[in-house]
Amino acid sequence: MDERKVGVVGLGNMGSGIARNFQRAGVPLAVWDIAPAAREAFAALPGVEVATPGRMAATCSAIFFIVPATPEIAACFDGPDGVLASAAPGLVVYDFTTSDPVETRAIAERAARSGIAYLDAGMSGGAAGADAGTLTLMVGGDRDAFERTRDLLACISKRLYHLGGSGAGHTMKLIHNMVCHTIFLATCEGGRMAEAAGIDVADMIGVFNVSNARSYASEVRFPAHILSGKWDARSRVYNLRKDVSMAVSLAESIGAQVPLGTLTRDFLESAIAQGMTDTDFAHLYPRFDEIVKGVDR
């Protein structure tokens, strides 16, 4: 095992930026994606090897999974050439998915039986933050493994929070996303109301950004992706619905009350029912009025 080498599995909107930051920092790198074109984009870069997750487990000190959810990681773990069978002593696995903390703890227990430290790390900052290496990471799991890999995390993130045991990172990510998406929809609602009253939405956003209604939605999302007319928030409505649905389910399981989060989930369910599954979620704003008609109230 090369103690400096890392692996990145999943080279989509988030993973590609993370992998490039490791490569730019001079970290020996192995990459993998199920899409050949994604792998080929990295194959010619200096210091980069294309390798399966099992091969990474044998040669890397840490593997970062940036895939849709825990089941995709579990699939990479299994089999005679999988991560569990191939892992070198001391391997650290980072799960950068947005996943159910119950599933996270279950796969972390499997990893521990094979001598692997499995940490869950929720991300904030989006694809732009992944590209710039300025992500905020919310980490759960073995504290010693976290400290051993802190220098690697510094290549891809600006702020690190170790929040507790296994599942804590993913729990915080679900809470974060539920609140973030609820604020975004509240800002959309305000914008539609401003339009109905004859007020320019850009003026509303300007007021918000120098007053108490400011948020990431008003400071970044609206100016960069909606008022600009680019409609490129770089995430699908499906992803928002998935995250908020998991947050609401988690809240129910622990007895927490989330009526506003539930309403956000219902709004996103209505958008999905109207054919927006794979639509960039910036388009929720212009279609807000028709979507809200499908929400049971």
Domain definitions of the chain by residue range: 2-165, 171-292
Fold agreement between 2-165 and 171-292: no
Quick check: 123 and 135 in contact, CB under 8 A? Answer: yes
DSSP 253: H
List all residues 6 or more positions away from 2 whose beta carbon is below 8 Å from its beta carbon.
Answer: 28, 59, 60, 61
Beta strand extents in the chain (DSSP E only): 2-9, 29-32, 48-50, 60-65, 92-95, 117-124, 135-140, 157-164
pTM above 0.95, yes or no: no
Residue-averaged pLDDT of the chain: 96
Superfamily of domain 171-292: N-(1-d-carboxylethyl)-l-norvaline Dehydrogenase; domain 2 (1.10.1040.10)
Q: CATH for 2-165?
A: 3.40.50.720
Q: What percent of the chain has pLDDT over 90?
A: 95
> Which band of pLDDT confidence, cut at 50, 70 and 90, is reported for residue 1?
low
pLDDT at 3 over 70: yes
CA 122, 237, 74 angle in degrees (round to 5)?
45
Q: What percent of the chain has pLDDT over 70?
A: 99
Question: What type of residue is 271?
Answer: A
Instruction: Give the distance, in angstroms, between the CA of residue 91 and the centroid of all CA atoms in the same chain.
Output: 22
pLDDT at 297 over 70: no
Task: Quote the CA–CA distance of 256 and 191 in Å, as a whole number.
Answer: 30
pLDDT at 270 over 80: yes
> Which band of pLDDT confidence, cut at 50, 70 and 90, is reported for residue 55?
very high
Instruction: Give the distance, in angstroms, between the CA of residue 105 and the centroid of all CA atoms in the same chain.
Output: 18
Task: Quote the CA–CA distance of 115 and 145 in Å, as a whole number.
Answer: 12
Query: What is the pLDDT at residue 2?
Result: 67
Q: What does the pLDDT average to over 69-82?
A: 95
